[in-house]
Chain A
C-alpha cells in the first residue's frame, strides 16, 4: 500500500496494529491506576480538582481552613519508598539547589508547633490551603519526580510533586 507519506506493506500494517493493541493495553493499565498518585501528599493529580495542595496522604482535612489536627502515626521509612530518590529536604535548614529547583512553582511554609510542626503547601500564585499539623514531624521534603518540567518559576506538571513529612527517624508521618 502506498500513501502520500510513504509506503506501508502488510508487515507494516501488522506492526502498527500490534502497537495499537499494546497501546490500548497500556492505556487500560494506566486508566486502572489513575487514582494512584506518584507519592503521598501529591500536589497535583486526578484527585485534586485544581492542582491544589494536599500536604499528606492521610492528613485529615481541616474543616474551616484552620490548622487540621492529625494523630501522629509513623509510617514507613521514607528511604524505603520508591520516590525516596526524588525527595528533597526543604526543612529544616537551607534547601539545597536541587531542593530549590524541586520547589519551583510551589510554596511551602513550616512552623513549629509544640511537639511537631505545621505545614502549609500550595501552588505559587494560588490561594494557599490551610495548614496541617504533624505531631512528631521533624523534616519536610518536596518530592519532584521529574525536574525537567520546571522552567523559570513555573512547574508545568504538578502531578509529580508532593510534600512529605517525616519524623526524626525518617519515618513518614501520616
Chain B
C-alpha cells in the first residue's frame, strides 16, 4: 500500500466517523464561560448595593470601621461618602455600565478595607471573606464579555 493509498483510506475512515456531540462537561463549561462573568458581576453588585444602602441609611453603625477617625461627625460623613460610592458602583455593576472601570474602583475600595482591617485587627475570617470579594472584583476588571448589559 502506498502512502497515498493509506492516507486516502484514513481520510475515508475519518469522514465516516460521526462527529461526537459535545459532552455534558463541555456544554457546562461553555455555559459557565458565557455566564460566569455576568453572574459574578451581578453578585458583586448585590454585595456593593447591600453595604452601600446600609451605610447610607444607618451610617452610625459603620463608623467603627473608619480607620484613624474616631466616632464623630467626620466619620459619619466618610461613611456616607463611602456608601454613596458603593451604591453608584453597585448600579453600574448590575446594569453592566462600564463594568471594568466600576470593578477597578471596587478593587480599590475593597483593598482599602482589607488593608485597614488587617492592620488594625489582624487577619481574621472577616478579612479573608473580604479577600474573596476582592478576588471577584479583580477578575471582573479583566472580563471583556458580559451579558445582560445596558448598552445604550
Q: B-contacting residues of A (Cβ < 8 Å)?
A: 3-12, 15-16, 19-20, 22-24, 26-27, 29-31, 33-38, 44-46, 48-51, 145-146, 148-149, 151-152, 154, 156-160
Contact = CB atoms under 8 A, between A and B. Distances in A.
A20 B88 contact: yes
A149 B65 CA distance: 10
Contacts of A22: 87
B61 interface: yes
B104 A156 contact: no
Given A5-B98, A34-B60, 17 more contacts: A6-B101, A10-B152, A12-B92, A12-B97, A12-B150, A23-B56, A23-B83, A23-B87, A26-B53, A26-B83, A26-B87, A31-B80, A46-B75, A151-B121, A157-B62, A158-B64, A160-B61
Interface in B70-103: 70-73, 75-77, 80-81, 83-84, 87-88, 91-92, 95-103
B60 A45 contact: yes
A34 B76 contact: yes
A154 B117 CA distance: 11
Contact of A48 (B71, B84, B91): B71
A34 B126 contact: no
Interface string B125-149: 1110000000000000100001000
11 contacts: A6-B101, A12-B150, A24-B84, A26-B83, A29-B57, A30-B59, A46-B75, A48-B71, A156-B117, A159-B63, A159-B71
Most chain A CB inside 10 Å of its own CB: which residue of B97, B100, B103: B97
A9 B73 contact: no
A49 B74 CA distance: 12
Contacts of B97: 6, 8, 12, 15-16
Contacts of A45: 60-61, 63, 71
Contacts of A29: 56-57
A162 B77 CA distance: 23
Contacts, number: 147
Contact of A5 (B52, B77, B83, B101): B101
A12 B72 CA distance: 36
B64 A156 contact: yes
A26 B60 contact: no
Contacts of A49: 70-72
A12 B98 contact: yes
Nearest to B87: A23
B17 interface: no
A148 B125 CA distance: 10
A151 B124 contact: yes
